[in-house]
Structure 1
Amino acid sequence: MSEDIRSGAGRLGRLGQAALGAAREGLHVFPLQPRSKLPAVRDWERAATRDPEQIAAWFSARPYNVAIACGPSALVVVDLDDGHGETAPEPWTGARHGRQVLAQVAAAAGESVPRTRAVSTPTGGLHLYFRAPVGVELRNTAGTALGWRVDTRAHGGYVVAAESVRDAGYYRVADRAPIAELPGWIAAALTPPPAPRPGEVAPVVVEISGGRARAYVAAIVEREAAGVAAAGEGTRHRTLLAAARTLGRLVGGDALDEATARGALLAAAEGYVGRGGYTGAQVARDIDDGLAYGMRLPRRIDAGGAR
Structure 2
Amino acid sequence: MVIDIDAHLVQPPTRDRILPGIPIAEHIDLTGLSNGFHTLAVLAALRGQPSPAEDTSTLRVRTPSGGLHVWYRAGDHRRWQSSVGSSSGRALAWQVDVRAHGSYIIAPGTSTQQGAYRPVGDVREPAPLPLWLSQELERTGHLPAASIPAPRPVPPRARQAVLAAGGRQEPQLLASILAPVESCGQVAEGAGFSDALNRAAYTLGGLIAAGRLPQEEAERVLKETAITARPGQEHRIEQIVRSGLTAGLKRPLYDNGRRP
Report the TM-score range of the alignment, normalised by the length of the smaller protein.
0.3 to 0.5
- Give the greater-gyration-radius structure (CA): 1
Q: Which one has more relative contact order, counting CA pairs under 8 Å at least 6 apart?
A: 2
Normalising by structure 1, we get a TM-score of 0.40
Instruction: Give the TM-score, by structure 2 length.
Output: 0.46
